[in-house]
């Protein structure tokens, strides 16, 4: 399968925002304009992350997803604030193809299996937010890297797959928004060890960074800041990946 | 006259992405769940995600099985997408045996598991099953090798190669990407999620169903 290039949109409805390590959020503009641009550049998927978990607020990420689905004809994934089976249903009804669960899955791991049973494993992504510790291990966090869980990130990722996750989104909180490259050691510890797709996120700054993480055998890369700040276009990235011998959708 | 697409709503969800794609192409879209609207339709789309048995139960509850068979037998344009493509077949082995619409002869079977991940989720390149196999279908303008988006665990297995329209390579296996019989085509992938090429397939369908 080709490497999926996923454009990640961090949303504080109604705006697209971006921070560094999920902090110091700047408003970048209207999500629809960015989404359309990435679709036209050849994104294989769009990922909407609600960074304030405001699913049912008056101005909600679901409104944005609903209107995106009218213009964007590639798969859409929604994460942030998905806590229950009803939340998943609401996201799918709005036009999402998949949902990403993190905080709620850590609080109540059975949610993963329940969701997989009802909607199919193909639409249940479990997000693992990790921060590298001084001892060289990684701990799992929730709430955009704010809350400590005490769980070992790698162990939690493997367990999530056993519980029915159809895909893993591995986020390195300490690289997120820095554009300093992926945390390759963290990704390498999980990619290739699970039989579901693995998406790497956090730190993409250059085409070279993406090539390096792709060589670890991940199935997808989620990129936000580097695209928003135009370090490269998705077209340029795919050309670079192809030149490096990595298969992408053209 | 504006091209009008009739999308069958039989409770199998996810009609909106197909509807959105046709709206984007400037077509009019009608959601239909009665025999009368099937009879009246000029171009029918049978979308759907979920389990085969549930899908057929949804069609049966609405009395749509015979109208759909009659519609297809009259050679009128019908597109099945994903589960909608599988429902065109005679029978499925998903969770027991279930009778299908039987518009395309053949069965629905589990994808061979050896060496590949199931469900099959992701982008895969499609090719005509034999030279010219898709030339008069919605795939007519599609370059062989086009990437399309799949989400499935089962595939259509036509009883005769003449009904096999397109294939995709998944691991070591050639899996069915499309089946067809006359003006009925079933695509296993999601054209409405397959980017610009997917949209162009639906545009071709509009051209076939509504020649100017």
- Predicted complex ipTM: 0.91
B23 touches chain A (CB under 8 A): yes
Give the pLDDT mean for A8-23.
93
Alpha-carbon distance B48 to B64, whole Å? 15
pLDDT-derived band of residue A4, with 50, 70 and 90 as boundaries?
Answer: very high
For residue A178, the number of C-alpha atoms closer than 13 Å in the C-beta half-sphere is: 15
pLDDT above 70 as % of chain A: 98
Instruction: Specify the pLDDT at position B14.
Output: 72
Q: How far is CA A190 from CA A121, A225, B116, in A?
A: 19, 24, 19
Please tell me which of the candidates A70, A97, A166 has its beta carbon nearest to residue B20: A70
Give backbone dihedrals phi and psi of A201, rounded to 5 degrees, phi first.
Answer: -145, 145
The set of catalytic residues of A is 10, 129
Instruction: Specify the pLDDT at position A180.
Output: 95
pLDDT-derived band of residue A58, with 50, 70 and 90 as boundaries?
Answer: low
Alpha-carbon distance A230 to B2, whole Å? 40
Residue pLDDT, tens place only, B178-200? 999 999 999 999 999 999 999 99
B25 touches chain A (CB under 8 A): no
Across the interface, do A97 and B196 touch by the CB < 8 Å criterion? no
Instruction: Enter the pTM of the model.
Output: 0.94
| Residue ranges of E strands in A94-189 | 98-101, 124-132, 138-142, 147-152, 167-172
Q: In CATH, which of 3.40.50.880, 3.30.540.10, 3.20.20.100, 2.10.109.10 is domain B4-209?
A: 3.40.50.880
Of the candidates A142, A115, A120, the one whose C-alpha atom is nearest the C-alpha of residue A130 is: A142
Of the candidates A42, A1, A57, A8, the one whose C-alpha atom is nearest the C-alpha of residue A222 is: A8
pLDDT-derived band of residue B1, with 50, 70 and 90 as boundaries?
Answer: low
Chain B CB contacts of A118 under 8 Å are: none
Domains and CATH numbers, chain A: 4-243 (3.20.20.70)
Residue A59 has pLDDT above 90, yes or no: no
Size of interface A-B (CB pairs under 8 A): 64
How close A184 gets to chain B, by Cα (Å)?
24
Q: Locate A75 and state its tokens.
A: 């798969």
Place of tokens 């339709």: B41
Across the interface, do B192 and A73 touch by the CB < 8 Å criterion? yes
Instruction: Specify the pLDDT at position B114.
Output: 82
Q: Locate A182 and state its tokens.
A: 């992926």
Peptide bond into A14 cis (omega under 30): yes
Residue pLDDT, tens place only, A158-206? 999 999 999 999 999 999 999 999 999 999 999 989 989 999 999 999 9
Residue B208 has pLDDT above 90, yes or no: yes
Residue B13 has pLDDT above 70, yes or no: no
Chain B CB contacts of A166 under 8 Å are: 119, 121
Chain A CB contacts of B194 under 8 Å are: 73-74
CB B159 within 8 A of CB B105: yes
Give backbone dihedrals phi and psi of B60, rounded to 5 degrees, phi first.
Answer: -65, -45
Give the pLDDT mean for B105-116.
91
Chain A CB contacts of B192 under 8 Å are: 73
């Amino acid at each position: 399968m080709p490497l999926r290039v996923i454009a990640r949109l961090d949303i504080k409805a109604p705006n697209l925002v971006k921070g560094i390590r999920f902090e110091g959020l700047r408003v970048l503009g209207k999500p629809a304009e960015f989404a359309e641009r990435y679709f036209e550049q050849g994104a294989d998927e769009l990922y909407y992350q609600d960074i304030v978990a405001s699913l049912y607020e008056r101005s909600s990420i679901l409104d944005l997803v609903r209107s995106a689905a009218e213009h964007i004809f590639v798969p859409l994934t929604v994460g942030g604030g998905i806590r229950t089976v009803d939340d998943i249903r609401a996201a799918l009804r709005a036009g999402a193809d998949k949902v990403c669960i993190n905080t709620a899955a850590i609080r109540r791991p059975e949610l993963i299996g329940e969701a997989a049973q009802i909607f199919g494993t193909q639409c249940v992504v479990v997000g693992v937010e990790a921060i590298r510790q001084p001892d060289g291990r990684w701990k799992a966090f929730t709430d955009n890297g704010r809350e400590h869980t005490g769980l070992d990130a790698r162990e939690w990722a493997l367990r999530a797959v056993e519980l029915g996750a159809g895909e893993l989104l591995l986020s390195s909180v300490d690289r997120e928004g820095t554009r300093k490259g992926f945390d390759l050691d963290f990704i390498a510890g999980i990619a290739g060890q699970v039989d579901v797709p693995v998406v790497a996120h956090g730190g993409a700054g250059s085409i070279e960074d993406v090539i390096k993480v792709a060589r670890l055998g991940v199935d997808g890369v989620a990129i936000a800041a580097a695209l928003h700040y135009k370090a490269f276009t998705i077209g340029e990235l795919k050309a670079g990946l192809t030149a490096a011998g990595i298969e992408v959708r053209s | 006259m504006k091209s009008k697409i009739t999308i069958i709503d039989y409770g199998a969800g996810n009609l909106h992405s197909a509807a959105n794609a046709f709206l984007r192409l400037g077509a009019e879209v009608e959601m239909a769940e009665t025999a009368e609207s099937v009879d009246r339709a000029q171009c029918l789309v049978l979308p759907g995600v979920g389990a085969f048995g549930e899908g057929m139960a949804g069609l049966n509850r609405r009395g749509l099985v015979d109208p759909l068979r009659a519609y297809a037998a009259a050679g009128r344009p019908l597109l099945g997408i994903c589960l909608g493509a599988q429902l065109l077949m005679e029978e499925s082995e998903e969770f027991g045996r279930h009778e299908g619409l039987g518009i395309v002869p053949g069965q629905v079977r589990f994808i061979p598991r050896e060496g590949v991940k199931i469900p099959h989720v992701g982008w895969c390149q499609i090719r005509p099953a034999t030279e010219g196999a898709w030339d008069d279908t919605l795939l007519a303008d599609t370059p062989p090798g086009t990437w399309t988006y799949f989400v499935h665990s089962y595939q259509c297995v036509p009883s005769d190669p003449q009904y096999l329209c397109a294939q995709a390579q998944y691991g070591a296996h050639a899996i069915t990407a499309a089946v067809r019989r006359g003006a009925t085509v079933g695509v296993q992938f999601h054209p409405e999620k397959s980017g610009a090429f997917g949209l162009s397939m639906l545009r071709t369908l509009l051209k076939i169903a509504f020649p100017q």
